[in-house]
Amino acid sequence: MPNYYLFVVVSIILIVTPGPDFALITKNTILYEKRGGRATTY
């Protein structure tokens, strides 16, 4: 059972942690405002 709780905690951390796609969208939004961020998502 302790392994199950460890699995749940690690899974939640991985789900909440933003990935490289989030970093790219954030960078383009900062550089090119809303239009750049929106264009990156398409």
pLDDT of amino acid 24: 93
CB proximity list for 37: less than 8 A, separation 6 or greater: 25, 26, 28, 29
26 in a structural domain:
yes
28 in a structural domain:
yes
Contact 40, 28 (CB under 8 A): yes
1 in a structural domain:
no
The total of structural domains in the chain comes to 1
pTM for this model (two decimals): 0.59
Question: How far apart (Å, rounded) are the C-alpha atoms in residues 23 and 3?
Answer: 31
22 in a structural domain:
yes
User: Identity (one letter) of the amino acid at 11?
Assistant: S
For residue 34, give both structure tokens: 């809303």
Question: Could you list the residue range(s) of the whole structural domain that residue 22 is in?
Answer: 16-42
35 in a structural domain:
yes
pLDDT of amino acid 31: 94
pLDDT of amino acid 39: 93
pLDDT in 10s for each residue of the chain, 42 residues: 789 999 999 999 999 888 888 899 999 999 999 899 899 888
CB proximity list for 26: less than 8 A, separation 6 or greater: 37
User: Identity (one letter) of the amino acid at 3?
Assistant: N
